[in-house]
């Protein structure tokens, strides 16, 4: 049975039973198309986003023995109830200088729970590329990816570099339309005969070239999937284990996380890490700390400045795309996932804002969220924390 189909069917049952997890998921029939994941009811989303790791297989991202402290700071004076209700927010966290200045939960989600990231996982995957370069597993950003993925020789990815894959400027064609059940993003996760080849490589090598590498930005979850295969090949380690080694255990996450695995038993590197609200905050704090664990940098010199600044322009004034991070010309950067997941990092104010949500629609620009982030910035400016 196709695992994503089982996931969708299981979450339907979750909602029907109003229970945290289905008692028996393995006997449920799959839905007709995996893309129906995008059309759950609101009740199904709120039940499912906090239960995916208990419905379909995830590989454990192990935490360490000692959690990195997040001490309580002076509370920010913000009225968040209306924002949380309108944005269907399950978890809201504001850190400044590593201290908790605001923490709220909704939709029956709690501190002990974990919430799926959707595409916020892309930012974790790109960070593993930096770690692999630092560790000597990957030669450089300018290395052609066929060095590690020879199955892509004579495909649209011939001549594409690691940098171009990270910035989604490969030039390969791809359809990321979440409303189209025949789009690549939907068909990619459906089972198909690969003749023994890795399913990601088998699908992606069939894409056509739409532009010369480096000349066009085009959002593609498939390309982050390729990054994941590249890191696994280069390091010889599952992504979840490498992420634990470099970040989750080393930096001090408080709880094990989980990374959804695909039909081949590999992490779906473009999607779906399950983690607690506070540990998502620690991911942001790790970035603010310069990508360091203690005094040791796990990323190459200059990596963070490139990863979190505009490397590609996608047509929105004042915004851009780095190494799988969304960037803003004012210095902020963010990880985003569909249905309203986000980590927004503001180096100037030393803040991390994490929002976990169950939006009614997969994508869209939320003016309400933008206004709330502005309120957070104004509140921090009005009552700044004492420098550590």
What DSSP line would sit under 154-213, residue for residue?
TSTTTT-BHHHHHTT-S-B-----TT-TTSHHHHTTS----TTS-HHHHHHTTPPB-S-T
Query: Token digits for 104?
Result: 């709220």
Do residues 93 and 277 make contact, with C-beta atoms less than 8 angstroms apart? Answer: yes
Whether pLDDT at 220 is above 90: yes
Stretch 210-234: mean pLDDT: 96
pLDDT band (50, 70, 90) for residue 364:
confident
Whether pLDDT at 218 is above 60: yes
Q: Where are the alpha helices (DSSP H) in the chain?
A: 3-17, 42-48, 81-86, 120-134, 162-166, 184-187, 199-204, 221-235, 239-243, 277-288, 303-307, 367-382
> Which neighbouring-strand residues pair with 261?
267
Relative orientation angle of helices 277-288 and 120-134, to the nearest 10 degrees = 40
Cβ partners under 8 Å of residue 296, min gap 6? none
Distance CA 220, CA 316 (A): 18
- What pTM did the predictor assign? 0.90
Residues 99-151: pLDDT tens digits?
Answer: 999 999 999 999 999 999 999 999 999 999 999 999 999 999 999 999 999 99
Distance CA 216, CA 109 (A): 40
- Which CA distances in Å does 25 have to 22, 28, 268, 372? 6, 6, 20, 39
SS3 (DSSP) at 19 = coil
Select from 344, 374, 346 the least CA-distant residue to 356: 344
SS3 (DSSP) at 74 = coil
Stretch 76-90: mean pLDDT: 96
Stretch 231-259: mean pLDDT: 98
Whether pLDDT at 370 is above 50: yes
| Domain chopping of the chain, boundaries | 1-56, 71-119+269-382, 138-231
Do residues 132 and 234 make contact, with C-beta atoms less than 8 angstroms apart? Answer: yes
pLDDT band (50, 70, 90) for residue 384:
low
* CA atoms within 13 Å, Cβ hemisphere of 204: 30
Q: Look at residue 190 in the predicted model and tell me its pLDDT.
A: 74
Stretch 284-300: mean pLDDT: 95
Distance CA 120, CA 188 (A): 19
Q: Where are the alpha helices (DSSP H) in 221-364?
A: 221-235, 239-243, 277-288, 303-307
- Looking at CATH, the fold of the domain delimited by 71-119+269-382 is given as Beta-lactamase (3.40.710)
Q: Look at residue 263 in the predicted model and tell me its pLDDT.
A: 76
Least confident among 30-34, 96-100, 202-206: 30-34
pLDDT band (50, 70, 90) for residue 234:
very high
Whether pLDDT at 83 is above 70: yes
Whether pLDDT at 155 is above 60: yes
Query: Token digits for 15?
Result: 């909602």
Whether pLDDT at 239 is above 80: yes
* Order of all β-strands in the sheet with 115-116: 58-61, 257-260, 273-275, 115-116
Do residues 149 and 229 make contact, with C-beta atoms less than 8 angstroms apart? Answer: yes
Whether pLDDT at 66 is above 90: yes
CATH numeric code, 138-231: 1.20.58.710
Stretch 206-218: mean pLDDT: 96
Q: Look at residue 365 in the predicted model and tell me its pLDDT.
A: 81
Q: Look at residue 362 in the predicted model and tell me its pLDDT.
A: 85
Q: What are phi and psi of 120, to 5 degrees?
A: -60, -25
pLDDT band (50, 70, 90) for residue 39:
confident
Q: Look at residue 334 in the predicted model and tell me its pLDDT.
A: 98
Q: Look at residue 37 in the predicted model and tell me its pLDDT.
A: 61
Stretch 284-291: mean pLDDT: 97
Distance CA 376, CA 132 (A): 35
10 Å Cβ neighbour count for 320? Answer: 20
Whether pLDDT at 165 is above 70: yes
SS3 (DSSP) at 367 = helix
Contacts made by residues 106-112, CB under 8 angstroms, sequence distance 24+: 107/46, 107/358, 108/46, 109/50, 109/356, 111/276, 111/277, 111/278, 112/276
Distance CA 245, CA 294 (A): 14
Distance CA 313, CA 227 (A): 20
Q: Look at residue 36 in the predicted model and tell me its pLDDT.
A: 56
Residues 170-211: pLDDT tens digits?
Answer: 999 999 987 787 888 878 877 778 888 988 999 999 999 999
Q: Look at residue 385 in the predicted model and tell me its pLDDT.
A: 53
Distance CA 388, CA 386 (A): 6
Residues 293-321: pLDDT tens digits?
Answer: 989 999 999 999 999 999 999 999 999 99
62 vs 16 pLDDT, higher one:
62
Whether pLDDT at 235 is above 90: yes
Select from 232, 212, 225 the least CA-distant residue to 164: 212
């Amino acid at each position: 049975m196709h695992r994503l189909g089982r996931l969708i069917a299981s979450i339907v049952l979750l909602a029907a039973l109003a229970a945290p997890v289905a008692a028996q998921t393995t006997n449920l029939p799959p839905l007709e198309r995996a893309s129906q994941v995008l059309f759950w009811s609101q009740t199904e989303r709120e039940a499912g986003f906090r239960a995916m790791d208990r419905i379909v297989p995830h590989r454990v991202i192990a935490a360490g023995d000692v959690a990195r402290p997040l001490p309580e700071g002076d509370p920010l004076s913000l009225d968040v109830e209306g924002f949380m209700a309108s944005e269907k927010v399950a978890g809201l966290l504001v850190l400044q200088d590593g201290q908790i200045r605001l923490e709220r939960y909704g939709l029956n989600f709690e501190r002990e729970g974990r919430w799926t990231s959707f595409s916020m996982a892309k930012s974790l995957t790109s960070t593993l590329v930096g770690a692999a370069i630092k560790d000597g597993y990957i030669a450089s950003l300018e290395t052609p990816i066929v060095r590690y993925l020879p199955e892509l020789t004579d495909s649209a990815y011939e001549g594409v570099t690691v940098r171009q894959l990270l910035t989604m400027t490969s030039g390969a064609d791809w359809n990321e339309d979440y409303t189209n059940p025949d789009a690549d993003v939907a068909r990619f996760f459906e089972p198909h005969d690969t003749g023994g080849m890795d399913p990601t490589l088998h699908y992606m090598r069939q894409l056509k070239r739409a532009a010369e590498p480096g000349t066009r930005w085009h959002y593609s979850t498939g390309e982050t999937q390729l990054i994941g295969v590249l890191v696994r090949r280069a390091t010889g380690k599952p992504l979840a284990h490498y992420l634990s080694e470099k970040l989750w255990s080393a930096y001090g996450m408080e709880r094990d996380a989980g990374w959804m695995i695909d039909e081949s038993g590999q992490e779906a590197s473009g999607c779906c890490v399950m983690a607690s609200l506070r540990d998502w905050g620690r991911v942001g704090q790790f970035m603010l700390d310069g990508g360091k664990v203690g005094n040791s940098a796990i990323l190459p010199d200059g990596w963070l400045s490139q990863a979190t600044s505009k490397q590609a322009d996608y047509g929105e004034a004042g915004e851009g795309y780095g190494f799988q991070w969304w960037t803003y010309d004012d210095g902020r950067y963010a990880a985003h996932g569909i249905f309203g997941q986000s980590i927004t990092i503001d180096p100037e104010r030393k803040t991390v804002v994490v929002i976990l949500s169950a939006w009614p629609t997969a994508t869209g620009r939320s003016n309400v969220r933008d206004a709330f982030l502005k309120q957070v910035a104004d509140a921090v400016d009005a009552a700044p924390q004492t420098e550590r």
